[in-house]
Amino acid sequence: MIDLFRRIAPIADELGALFAGHGHELAVVGGSVRDVFLGRIGNDLDLTTDARPERVLEIVGGWADSIWTIGIDFGTVGVRKGGWLLEITTYRSEAYDAKSRKPEVVYGDTLESDLARRDFAVNAMAVRLPGHEFVDPYGGLADLDAKVLRTPGTPEQSFEDDPLRMLRAARFASQLGFTVDPAAVAAMTAMAGRIEIVSAERIRDELDKMICGAGPREGLGLLVDTGLAAHVLPELPKLRLEIDEHHRHKDVYEHSLIVLEQAIAQEAAGPDRVLRWAALLHDIGKPKTRRYEEGGRVSFHHHEVVGAQMAKKRLTELRFPKDVVSDVARLVELHLRFHGYGTGEWTDSAVRRYVRDGGHLLDRLHKLTRADCTTRNRRKAQALSRTYDELEQRIARLADEEELAKMRPELDGNEIQEALGIGPGPVVGKAWKFLLDLRLDKGVLGKDAAREALLEWAREQGLTG
């Protein structure tokens, strides 16, 4: 540990000496200590102290490059010093009462009492500053070696104090690849309903971190198995009951997890939250649209449209940003569009419309469509892949020829008004849509041909003499 800690020691020791000089304790704590042992040292540190927040502000006032107090109501003062971001939190304990959605913060007086209220033993380790005394009263280092998540005290008391810790267990299982102690899993199962007291924003943050972790399948599986998903993401466990129309998978739930994993495998620059959420939720409309057909088949007609509405509703209730909600819902709506054109040759018009509909999500739509192929029939999978390869090649060719990304009518609003001899109004919008459809169907015609087509359309509509 000495070698691992050496990198952060200068800044930590400097700050520890500063606090000691003012008669206060300071320690590196929690995830920062855990990550040192995991070799994941970044430029941010979590620290804890016996000094109250107002006193922390006085101590760091002349030392820090900048200070922020957005978390001061919860005892946290943020500090930037050089390239380091430091969060200094007063020793504390926090708990919910039966009717509150926000934790009540109570300050503590000792490092040991602060560690006792931590979520898991691997996060209940500390290093006192500036002397580097390692403090591990709950066996966090042994748990780290065993890759297990165990609460410092009884899991029932821990989850009663802060129900969000049940979601953190799933999140850490995803991020770290750890298993959860059976006693904690049992408590999560028994206390799943307690999660409803937690605010949507805090639940969203944990779910999002889990989805963007290294192995979200493990975390999602834990949520479903314990019953927590029924309270925070109820659409997911409902998929377990739905057998897909080709009987290719155990259920749609398993299919969705495979699609998520296959989408992740296509990421090129780190976690893509929009792609991952769309992959997980792409089939959530199936339970509502299931129909039994002749011959024992099951259909899910228009499940993409229903699913898009459901995804929008769920993510909105979880307080996701509007752009994330819109993008995920749109991908869910479009995820079957490729299959709607069959396996035959795509017309240029169909390709243009596919690009237009995909818009700024086109690259993600490519990845989601490819990820959605989970058939075990290798020949069929290869045929689908080849067909999509051909589609992407067609898109690239037309993009070069016609600037598909800038696709719009060849006449703008002013030119439409001039050609038709009209002023602003709803007719201009109808004419614009006609010209856009013409552009999609025929490609680039040139302004003269577009104007002639517009005039012919106007005559058919009875808009000219």
313: amino acid identity, one letter: K
Higher pLDDT, 292 or 100: 292
Tokens 């690239």 sit at which residue? Answer: 396
Q: Under a CB-based contact definition with an 8 Å cutoff, are residues 119 and 168 in contact? A: yes
Q: Under a CB-based contact definition with an 8 Å cutoff, are residues 205 and 176 in contact? A: no
Which pTM was predicted?
0.81
Q: 84-90 and 148-149 as β-strands: parallel, antiparallel, unpaired?
A: unpaired
How do residues 29-82 score in pLDDT, each as one tens digit? Answer: 999 999 988 888 778 899 999 999 999 999 999 899 999 999 898 899 999 999
How do residues 330-376 score in pLDDT, each as one tens digit? Answer: 999 999 888 766 555 677 777 887 888 888 898 999 999 999 987 77
Higher pLDDT, 164 or 7: 164
CA atoms within 13 A on the CB side of 313: 11
Check residue 397 and give its pLDDT: 76
Percent over 90 (pLDDT), the chain: 53
pLDDT band at residue 100 using 50, 70 and 90 as cut-offs: low
pLDDT band at residue 4 using 50, 70 and 90 as cut-offs: low
- Alpha carbon distance 308, 312 (integer Å): 6
Angle 387-390-394 from CA coordinates, rounded to 5°: 140
Average pLDDT of the residues of the chain: 87
How do residues 167-219 score in pLDDT, each as one tens digit? Answer: 999 999 998 889 999 999 999 999 999 999 999 999 999 999 999 998 999 99
HEC sequence for 342-370: CCCCCCHHHHHHHHHHHHHHHHHHHHHHH
Per DSSP, helices labelled H in 147-251 are 155-161, 164-176, 182-190, 200-211, 216-226, 229-232, 235-238
343: amino acid identity, one letter: T
Q: Under a CB-based contact definition with an 8 Å cutoff, are residues 206 and 233 in contact? A: no
Tokens 């589609």 sit at which residue? Answer: 391
- Alpha carbon distance 90, 64 (integer Å): 18
Q: Which helix (H) or strand (E) holds 44?
A: strand 44-49
pLDDT band at residue 248 using 50, 70 and 90 as cut-offs: very low
CA torsion 325-330-335-340 (nearest 10°) is 160
* 413 pLDDT above the threshold of 90: no
Q: Taking the domain 234-404, which CATH number applies?
A: 1.10.3210
pLDDT band at residue 446 using 50, 70 and 90 as cut-offs: confident
Domain 2-144 listed as CATH 3.40.50.620: no
Q: Which of 210-219, 276-285, 297-306, 403-412 is predicted least confidently?
A: 403-412
Whether residue 271 has a cis bond before it, omega within 30° of 0:
no
Check residue 407 and give its pLDDT: 67
**Residues 6+ positions from 21 with CB-CB distance below 8 Å:** none
Q: How many CB atoms lie within 10 A of CB 284?
A: 26
Higher pLDDT, 462 or 118: 118
